[in-house]
Amino acid sequence: MKTNYQSPGGVDALSKALLTRWNTVIQTVYDGLKPYQSRFFKLNPAELSQPDATAITWFADPATPASCKDIDIARQLADWGVRGRQALHDEYCEYHIVYRTDQQGNLRPKRVHVTTELRVYWTMLAMANPTRLRNVAAEILGFVPSWQDLYGVADPFKLSETAREIAFSTQNAGHGGRADLQKKGVPAQPVGKLNTDNLLFMTSPVNGLDDLLFIFMFGAHPYATRNGDQLERATKEQIFRYHQTEEFACRHADPAASMSAYNAVFEGRTVAFADPVGLYMHTFADNVFSYKGKDIPDTWVRFSRGRQRLEFGPGDDEPIFLDDLTVALGGDEYPVTGGFQVVQQLEIGPTILFGAPIPILDTDYIILNISVDPIRCNESRTCEQVDALHKAYLNSQVPAIEKVSPRIVKPVVA
């Protein structure tokens, strides 16, 4: 059964042809995850019986650097401009700090832009319809970007669709962890400034649609342990150890997504993404922020793009800067220095449908006999990258680290 998903957020009035292209992209990504497919996970939500919709959420701040170091170092590294974004923004949320010069000539943080928009949606538009792509970008930017800024060429209509994808990915999207684009010379992160300086959508190879589908499909199996003649629930630690992906359990996103699917499937329930597929900003605790002891104005919290985008902070016409604000944490107040403190208060995630239970067959169960010991997140392989980034931060140098979509792993053969 073919899917009929709308555009992410339901905000772009796409033609029938573009919607078909978008659904083809979703199907292709799903087909590429065949080793993780399960009869309990349905790509098409219409296949679920009596579905209930639930927002599966997690906090958007990067968890890994805090596990490896501490919260202060995590904040410093994650706020470290494009370098922090590229290396650490791995919770399906990326942000950019906008700086402005004050009257004394000091460069200070003014606002934070946050996005959960999927790279693959934008590359689909870039391939299929450059005009629609430019219109969507203009709605966010407030100005019409040039073809040069979008594609790195004067006229994308002279390019084939494949060439457009390469050009746009090189300029604004990066290779997204795809080996075919890497072979054609597309870098991990874009060389252009449009998406880097304005944050149109996510570019990290670990924040892709393939990763999002994977972390739910990863959990959508009835894992179990034996206790005599009884089958009991497996633990988070056992499930992640089974797939040899312990470091994934140290993020906010992966365990929240995987375990929500697993807990439903262990009861025989089927799982699917609600329409439209995407990552959304569900709650934001703006009441913890204040300016001169008072609540911040509503105009400083601006959601858009179907709650896939947040702009937080004063406008350029106001003589106030982000570090004039304070955030209340644990009974104390701290100056707001960047985006990390903002996304700490933001809960994101997709809306998931859980269908009525179906029988679990004996052949469905995956029996685990694995340690239940706690996963030591401060000893994960990812901490080596955090250590390198921290040393570079202290030395004000950029480390040569490239993330290559670590969520998608070779499946374990039972």
Q: What is the pLDDT of residue 414?
A: 44
Q: Give, for 283, the enclosing helix (H) or strand (E).
A: strand 280-284
206 within some domain: yes
Q: How many independent structural domains does the chain possess?
A: 1
Rounded CA separation 183/343 (Å): 35
376 within some domain: yes
197 within some domain: no
Q: What is the pLDDT of residue 236?
A: 98
407 within some domain: no
133 within some domain: no
Q: What is the pLDDT of residue 13?
A: 92
User: For the chain, how far is it from start to end, CA to CA, in angstroms?
Assistant: 29
Rounded CA separation 408/212 (Å): 10
Nearest 5°: phi and psi at 134? -65, -35
103 within some domain: yes
Question: Which residue range is the domain that position 317 belongs to?
Answer: 16-118+202-395
110 within some domain: yes
403 within some domain: no
Q: Which residues pair with 347 in a beta bridge?
A: 59, 283
Which is nearest to 108 in space by CA: 324, 397, 396? 324
- The pLDDT profile of the chain, 414 residues, written as one tens digit per residue, is 689 999 999 999 999 999 999 999 999 999 999 999 999 999 999 999 999 999 999 999 999 999 999 999 999 999 999 999 999 999 999 999 999 999 999 999 999 999 999 999 999 999 999 999 999 999 999 999 999 999 999 999 999 999 999 999 999 999 999 999 999 999 999 999 999 999 999 999 999 999 999 999 999 999 999 999 999 999 999 999 999 999 999 999 999 999 999 999 999 999 999 999 999 999 999 999 999 999 999 999 999 999 999 999 999 999 999 999 999 998 899 999 999 999 999 999 999 999 999 999 999 999 999 999 999 999 988 999 999 999 999 997 544 444 434 455 545 544
160 half-sphere exposure, CB direction, 13 A CA radius = 2
